[in-house]
Structure 1
Amino acid sequence: MSYDLAVWEGDRPADHRSARRTLRDLYERYLDDEIEVAPSERITAYVAALLERWPDITEGDGETSPWSVGPLIAGASGPVIYFGMAWSRAEEASSYAAAVADSMGLICFDVQEDRIRNCAH
């Protein structure tokens, strides 16, 4: 079981309900589809920023990684990424991931809490 976040490009949703709808639409269009879409430049840069802090779980020192799947970029398609982290590392890793998303002008949605995350959370 993992702690999951979704991060995407776009305007900040007005509320958590709007964010949930946006995520559902993005997921259906980009992640739950048989058509593969390369991750956007901004999402690729976001993943690179996360991997600067912790290695990909598929790398040699991946045992120190909080990410629950790898390669991390595999969860990305077009303007969205959906990824998980180990529950034991979720507080630290999700806070960092949300802060990086915020600093890059991306939207971070906490799937477990069903709400938009920001770097203050």
Structure 2
Amino acid sequence: MSCDLAVWEGERPADDKTASELFRSLYEQYIGTRADHPPTAVIAQYVALLLERWPDLTEDENEISPWSTGPLIGEASGPLIYIPMVWSMAATASAYAAETAASLGLVCYDPQARRLRP
């Protein structure tokens, strides 16, 4: 079982419903297609900050990474990253990911709960 977060560049949506609609649109445009969209600079910076806290799954020799896929940057496309996390570390990792996103002015959305993260 995993827990996922979506993080993107842009204005913070007014409510969870608007965030859900925007997430679906961004997902279809950037991840749901096979088109290659390199991560934007701020998304790449965001991933680098996450990887300062926990190693990339591809480099995790001590099995401490909360990321359930690797390399993590491979989950980014343009202004969006969809982050799958292992369930056992999801609470801690998602809180840190949401906090880090906010510090960079990014939107953080929990697609399973269908709500914005503070």
Please classify the TM superposition score into its range, dividing by the shorter chain length. Answer: over 0.9
Shift of 1:18: 0.4
TM-score by length of 2: 0.97
**Equivalent residue, structure 2, for 1:30:** 30
AA of the residue aligned to 2:75: G
Does structure 1 residue 67 correspond to structure 2 residue 61? Answer: no
**Equivalent residue, structure 2, for 1:80:** 80
Superposition pairs for residues 1-121 of structure 1, below 5 Å?
1-61=1-61, 63-118=63-118
Give the alignment's Cα RMSD to 1 decimal: 0.9
CA–CA separation in structure 1 for the residues paired with 2:62 and 2:82: 19
CA–CA separation in structure 2 for the residues paired with 1:111 and 1:62: 29
Deviant stretches of 4+, over 4 Å: none
Question: Percent same amino acid at aligned positions?
Answer: 56
Q: How many pairs are equivalent?
A: 118
Gaps spanning 5+ residues in structure 2: where? none
Structure 1's 62 and 18: CA in aligned 2 closer, same or farther, altered over 3 A?
farther
Shift of 1:61: 2.4
Higher relative contact order (CA 8 A, sep 6+): 2
TM-score by length of 1: 0.95
